[in-house]
Amino acid sequence: MSGSLIEPGMKAPAFNLPDQNGDRHRLADFAGNSVVLYFYPKDDTSGCTVEAQEFRDAAAAFKKAGAVVLGVSPDDSKSHCKFADKHNLNFTLLADVPGVDGTPRTCDKYGVWAEKSMYGRKYMGVLRTTYIIGPTGQVAHRFDKVKPNGHAKQVLDALKAAPAKTGKSRTRK
């Protein structure tokens, strides 16, 4: 891994990536909103599907919390489109397609592109990691070694706790 994980309090690296429909999205497009930027290894695999479905099912709660959910993997827009359609995903999937050197740039900038090992074989891949980026573009929270089951709830809980940390007050009924 050449990039390092971004620590909470640091400025989140900029990105400009196509989504499942080929439309481009930049981090700057979401200024003033909280962004849940979750990195996952591969479309339509078991863990990645569970994680995506949990974010889909909690969409209203994320919206109420003032957050936009963005999923990122090295799969291309066509793969993302099939994955989103198959599972009725209601949020944006960003395609961080690897460059000529085999490295997906945004995954690398966020420190989630690393050497992994399966059945004794070493390879480069995405470490399942989620960042909450605050309205000012700073990383508010990072989740490492994410387990897909229950992850969306963990992220929501952190978002709900965030206003107290930033000094902003919010009336709750």
Over the stretch 114-162, which tens digit does the pLDDT of each residue have? 999 889 999 999 999 999 999 999 999 999 999 999 999 999 999 988 7
Which position among 17, 27, 37, 48 bears the catalytic label?
Answer: 48
- CA–CA separation, 108 vs 50, rounded Å? 24
Instruction: Walk me through the domains of the chain, giving residue ranges and CATH numbers.
Output: 31-157 (3.40.30.10)
- CA–CA separation, 126 vs 79, rounded Å? 16
Q: Summarize the confidence of residues 68-96 as an average pLDDT.
A: 97
Looking at residue 164, its pLDDT comes to 41
| pLDDT one-digit tens code per residue, 20-44 | 999 999 999 999 999 999 999 999 9
- CA–CA separation, 43 vs 71, rounded Å? 10
Asked if residue 43 lies in contact with residue 75, where contact means CB atoms within 8 angstroms, the answer is yes
Beta bridge partners of 169: none
Q: Is 48 a residue of the active site?
A: yes
Report which residue type is found at 164: A
